[in-house]
Structure 1
Amino acid sequence: MKRSPILLLPVLLAGCAWLAPTYHRPQMPMPDKWGTAQTAATPDDSTWWRSYGDPVLDGLVDEALKNNDDLALAGAKLQQARAQYKYAFANQLPSISVAGADAYGRVHLKDELPTPHRMSNLGFVGGMLNYEVDLWGKNASLSKAAKAGVRAAGYGHAAARLSIAAATAKLYFSLRALDSERDILQRTIQTQTELLALVQRQHEVGAVDALAVQNVTEQLDAAQAALPDVEDQRGKAESALAVMLGRSPEQIIGQAMDRGKNIDELTIPIPTPPEIPSTLLERRPDIAMHEQTLIASNFNIGFARAAYFPTISLASLAGVNNIDIDNLYRATTRSWTLAA
C-alpha cells in the first residue's frame, strides 16, 4: 500500500489543447457609431407570427413545429451532437473495467512423478484502471470540437424552426390570397354573365351593336379561363401547406385546410425599421451555426496535430486469485500491476 499514491498520478496529469490554433473571430471594419440619430431596438420575438392576431395561423404554425419532418431531423442531429460530446468528454476521464475468469481442469503427468492426478480450479476477479495522459491536447481538442458541434446543432435547430414557421406563414397567406383571387374571379364571372345577358337583350332591340356583345363575351371567356389556373394554384398551395404541417396523404386529400380571419381583418405588425445595425446579423441562428462550425474545425486542427505525437497511457490492475474458485475471497495470493 505504500505505492498506492502512484495510482493518483493519472488524475494529476491533465492535457490542454496546446496544438489547436487560437480562434479569432474575423473582424470587419465597422463605423464607430450608428449614422442616424434614430435607432429602434428590434425585439427578439420567437413567436412573431402571433402578432397577426389569427388563431388559425397560430395553430398551423404550432402544428408544423410539432410534426414537421425537417425539424425532427434537426432535433435528431442535435441529440446526436450531444451524444458525441458526451463520448468525447468521457475520453478525458479514466476508464474502469472489471474482469473475472474461472478455469477448471487437470494436468496429466508421468506416472513416476509423485504429483497426484487431481482436478483443479483457477479463479481470478480484478479491476483495471486505464488513463491516457493527454499531454498534447488531443482528447481536449476533440471534446471542445464536439462542444462547438453541439452549439452548431442547436443553432441549426433554431434556424430550422424559424424557417419552418416562416414557410408555414407564407404558404398560409398565399393560400388566403388565392382564395381572394378565386372569389374575385367567381364574382367577375357572375357579373359578366349578367352583363352579357343584358347586352344581348339590348342587341336584340337594336340598342347596341354586335361588337359590344363580342367584347363582353371575350371578357367573360377570359375570366372563365383564368379560374381553373387559380383553382390549380390554390390546390397546390393547400397541399404544400399540409405537407409542411406533417400531415398524412389521407389527411391532405380528405381534410380541408382551415381558414381564419379575412385578410382585411388581420392585425398589421409593426414594420421593421428600414435602418438597423448590422450587428443584428449575429442573432441569426444560421450565421451563428456556421461560426460554431468554424470553431469546431479549429479544434479539429489541434486534434489532427496531436495525432502525430506518441500516445502515453497508464494502466493499473488489482485483484485476487485462487486455485479454488469456491475459496476465491479467501485468496491464496493477491496481485496488483501498474504499467505504462
Structure 2
Amino acid sequence: MALPANLPCRLLTVALLLGGCARLGPDFQAQQEPWTGQWSSPALEQATQLRRQPDLRQWWQVFSDPVLEKLIAEADANNAGVRIAGLRVVEARAQLGIAQAGRYPQVQQASAEALYVHSRQSAATVQTSRVWQYSAGLDVGWELDFWGRFSRAIESADAAYFASRAIHEDVLVLLHAQLAQTYFTLRAAQARLRIARENARLQKRSYEITERLFKGGESDELDLQQAKTQYLGTLSSIPELESQILHARNALAILIGRPPAPMQEILDMPEKEGVVPLIDRAVLQDVPASLLLRRPDIRAAELQVAAQSALIGVAKADLYPSLTLLGSIGWSATSLPGTPNGFVLIGGPSLRWNVFDYGRIRNNVRIQDARLQQLIVAYQDSVRQAAREADDAASGLLKALEREAILGEAATAANRSLTLANALFREGYSDFQRVLDAQRALFAQQDAYLVNRSTAVGYLIALYKALGGGWQSEQPLVDAATRQQMEQRTDWGGLIDEAASEPTGKRSSIQGGRPDE
C-alpha cells in the first residue's frame, strides 16, 4: 500500500497541533509575604538613610579605603567560591539546553548493514553462489508534549538556571561582607597592638622606677611586684594581637585567591594601619522592605520554589498516556538477480500508558508536592531570617555607637587620671599604687574603645549584607584562563557566552511579579 507523499508534513502538523495541548500541574505563583509590604523597624529607620551614593551594590565605597576596594576587586577575580558559583551557572545553562531538547524528536537512530553470503551447492559440481545484501535506515520517535511534560521540564530548568545566577550573586554578597569584616578586623587588631605597645612602654618605665626606688630603700616590694605584674600582663597581650593580625592576613589572602603570605598592599599604606573608621548610618537606595525581597538568596529561594512547582507537572504527566509519532525510512538492495531494490517509508502513532503502576506514579506526584511545600516554608523562613538579620544589625550598630561616645569619654578621663596620678606621685602626695591603677584603667578603656569601634563597623557591614548589598561584580562568570582550559577539553559552542551575556537581575520567564531593579 502506497503512503501519501505528504505524510511527513501531515505528521508534523499533527504534532504541532497536539503538542502542548495541556500543561498538568500548578502554575507558579510569585511568593507573597503580606507583612513585608510596609515592613520596617525603629532601629532600621535610625540606622539607614536614603541617598543615591554610594550604590548599595558597591557599599564598601562608603569607607573611602582604596586598599579595601583593591582587595575586593581581586577577590571578585580570583576567589574560589565565586569562580565555582560562576561555573555552576554555566552548568545550569547546559541543563536548560538538555531540557529544551525535549521539544524535538527524542529517538533518532540510523543504521546500516552489509551482508555477504557465500554458498556451495555440492562438492561434485563445485557450484558456488555469492550474494551481497545492503540495507540502511533511519528511525525517528517523537513523543508529543500532550500533557506538558517537556514544557514543564523546560520551565523547571529555566527557573533552576536563574536560581544559579541568584546564588552566584549571593556568593558575591557573602564574599564582600566577609572580606570587609576580615579587613577591618585586621585594622582593629593593628590599632589594639599599637595601644598595647604604647601602654607596655609606659608601664615598663613605671616598673623601672619602682625597681630603682625599691633598691634605694624608698619603696616596698609590693609596689615593685605590682608594677612588674601589670607590665608583664600588658606585654603578654602583644603576641596574641600579633597572632590575630597574622590570621587575618592569611584569611584575606585566601579570600582574594592567594596563598598565605604578607600582603604588600597593606604594608605599602602605613597611614591606614590601625585606622578603624566610624560610619553611623548605612546608605540605601530603596526602603528595607523592598531590599529584603531583592536579596539574592531570597530570589534564589523563590526560584527554587518555581523549579519544584514545574516538576509536579512533569510527575503528573506520567499518569496519562503518552502519544509518540514513530517514523522509519529504509532502503535495501541485493545482488541477487531478479530481486528489486526497495525503499520503505513507515509512519504512525504509538500509545503508551502505565496503567498498572501500583501507586508509584501517584506517590511520585505526592513526593514532588511535599518537596514544593518544603521549599515554600523554607522561602518564608528565609524572608523572616533576613528581616531578623537586618534588624539585629541595625540595633547592634545603634547600641555600638552609643557605647562609642561613652567609651570615648571614659578613655579621655582615664588619660587625665593618669596625668594627675603621676603629678601627685611626683609631688609626694600619693603613693605609686594610684599610678598603677590609673595605667591599668587607661589601657583597659583604650582597648575597650577600639574593640567597640570594630564592633560598630562589623554591625554596619552586617547591615549591608542583610539588605543584600554587594551583589555586583565587573568580572565575567568564567575567567579567560578557566574558559581556555575548558574549551581545550570540550566544544562549548556559544553556551558560555550565552550564560555570561544574560543581564544581571533578569528574572526567569516564569516568574513575573516584583522587578529586580
TM range (shorter): 0.7 to 0.9
Change in CA separation of 1:247 and 1:73 when aligned onto 2, cut-off 3 Å: same
The separation in 2 between residues aligned to 1:64 and 1:224, in whole angstroms, is 36
Q: C-alpha distance in 1, partners of 2:142/2:194?
A: 74
Are residues 2 and 18 of structure 1, via their aligned partners in 2, closer, same or farther at CA, if it must alter by over 3 Å? closer
Change (3 A) 1:130 1:224: same
Cα deviation digits, residues 129-152 of structure 1 (max 9, x gap): 331111111111111011110111
> Does structure 2 retain, via aligned residues, the 8 Å contact 1:85–1:150?
yes
Q: Name the counterpart of 2:132.
A: 121
- Aligned-CA RMSD value: 3.2
User: Does the Cα contact within 8 Å between 1:53 and 1:266 map onto a contact in 2?
Assistant: no
> 2:112 touches 2:137 (CA, 8 Å); kept in 1?
no
Alignment partner, residue 335 of structure 1: 344
2:7 to 3, 26, 42: 3
Q: Which has the higher helix share?
A: 2
8 A contact 2:60–2:180 mirrored in 1: yes
2:121·2:128 contact (CA, 8 Å) conserved in 1?
no
Of 6, 13, 21, which aligns to 2:18? 13
TM norm structure 2: 0.56
Paired-residue identity, %: 27
Note the C-alpha offset of 1:12.
3.4
* Distance 1:264-1:256 versus aligned 2 partners, 3 A rule: closer
1:235 counterpart residue number: 246
Please give the residue correspondences for 1:1-340 in structure 2 after superposition, counting only pairs within 5 Å.
Answer: 1-8=5-12, 9-15=14-20, 18-30=23-35, 40=50, 45-95=56-106, 97=108, 99-106=110-117, 108=119, 117-205=128-216, 208-248=219-259, 252=260, 254-256=261-263, 258-259=265-266, 260=269, 261-262=272-273, 264=275, 268=279, 271-272=282-283, 276-323=287-334, 332-340=341-349
Q: How far 1:265 moved relative to its partner?
A: 8.2
Distance 1:269 1:316 in 2: 72
For 2:139 and 2:115, how far apart are their aligned partners in 1?
24
C-alpha distance in structure 1 between counterparts of 2:280 and 2:164, whole Å: 31
DSSP-derived class of the 1:307 partner: helix
SS of 1:322 mapped into structure 2: strand
Deviation at 1:19, TM superposition (A): 1.3
Residues in 2 aligned to 1:307 and 1:243: alpha-carbon distance in whole angstroms: 49
SS at structure 2 position matched to 1:300: helix
Tell me which residue corresponds to 2:434.
none
Distance 1:49 1:122 in 2: 76
Secondary structure of the residue aligned to 1:47 is: helix
Residue type of the partner of 1:337? I
CA distance in 1, matches of 2:71, 2:9: 64
Structure 1: 5+ residue runs without aligned partners?
325-330
Give distance in 2, aligned partners of 1:152 and 1:75: 12
The whole-number CA distance in structure 2 between the counterparts of 1:285 and 1:16 is: 35
* Distance across 1 between alignment mates of 2:317 and 2:6: 35
Instruction: Return the structure number with greater relative CO, CA threshold 8 A, min gap 6.
Output: 1
Structure 2, unmatched stretches of 5+, are 350-517
**What is the Cα deviation at residue 31 of structure 1?**
8.6
**For this pair of structures, how many residues does the alignment match?**
325
Structure 2 residue identity aligned to 1:24:
Q
Whole-Å separation in 2 of the counterparts to 1:264 and 1:4? 77
Label 1:239 to 1:262 Cα distance change in 2 as closer, same or farther (>3 A). Answer: closer
